[in-house]
Chain A
Amino acid sequence: MKLNTGMTHPRDFSGAMTDISFLLIVFFLVSMVFIADTGLLLSLPEEDSVPKEMPEEEVLALTLNENHTLMQGEEIIEKENVGILAKEMKERGVNPVLILTIEKGNPYQDVLNIMEEAKKGGIELFSLNTPEESPIPVALDKENNETANQTP
């Protein structure tokens, strides 16, 4: 007489194992992030480098004040109009440089938005400046959209 020991045949597990592994695959596919960073490549200038003097007519000097308002001197300008200002300068035959003074309390995203508008207007050279300290000059490379230092 054959006794029933309660043991099942191992073949019965294979279906369940496939189900579990597929469930795990679905979990990983939903929760995973592939490491592929995109960014702005900056090349900071040497700390002891001599600041480059720019002709006044080539400079687009803007201030992002504590109230998150963008100013050109005493005049308020819309962030979206930075590109238009840059294009006007380009039409006058100058290669404009944006000197952006950023006062305390301005979010990082706002600074990038202004840089983006300036880039749309054809500006490749930027100088990001915080009021109490010396500016960090950076330049966006035309071909690779990378930033390179504005060498003196």
Chain B
Amino acid sequence: MKLQIKPRKKATGIVAMSDISFLLLIFLITTVSLDTDEDLKLPSFLFASKAGYSETVYITVPREEGVAIINDMKIPERQIASELTRLAIPLETPVNIMADARVDYQRVDSLLKTLQKKELNNVILVVEQKSEEP
């Protein structure tokens, strides 16, 4: 007598897959930051090093003249000093300067001088790591 064995339904596989994909989604949503600074082109530098600090301040110098962005807040460039005073940043906090590669160096220089006056002497010039030339 030939027995007919019905194969088991594999519906459970799809349920597990959706569980895994949702877990991945949650991981990505919580860890990812979307690239919104399309106008900002960071300069490249061969001898850059990793700058991983948990407590940092970000100052962006965009191409737009007369403005700066401190921790996502757009302010006039002349108000950087007063804004730094208002934020009461601890002196040992590293300050990340994200200046566009095309901006006049004088703008970066005046920002460095402002930070020096505020005794914020730990500065990171954020750059893109240039690949080694062949």
- Please tell me if the beta carbons of A44 and B112 are within 8 angstroms of each other in the complex: yes
Number of residue pairs spanning A and B whose beta carbons lie under 8 angstroms apart: 160
Q: Does B7 contact A (CB under 8 A)?
A: no
Q: Give A residues with C-beta under 8 Å from B.
A: 11, 14-15, 17-18, 21-22, 24-25, 28-29, 31-47, 102, 104-112, 115-116, 119-120, 128, 130, 133, 136, 140, 144-146, 149
Q: Give B residues with C-beta under 8 Å from A.
A: 11, 14-15, 17-18, 21-22, 24-25, 28-29, 31-35, 43-52, 94, 96, 99-109, 112-113, 115-117, 119, 121-130
Contacts of A28 in B (CB 8 A): 25, 28-29, 32
- Please tell me if the beta carbons of A42 and B125 are within 8 angstroms of each other in the complex: yes
**Secondary structure type dominating chain A contacts:** mixed
- Please tell me if the beta carbons of B126 and A37 are within 8 angstroms of each other in the complex: yes
- Please tell me if the beta carbons of A149 and B43 are within 8 angstroms of each other in the complex: no
Contacts of A17 in B (CB 8 A): 18
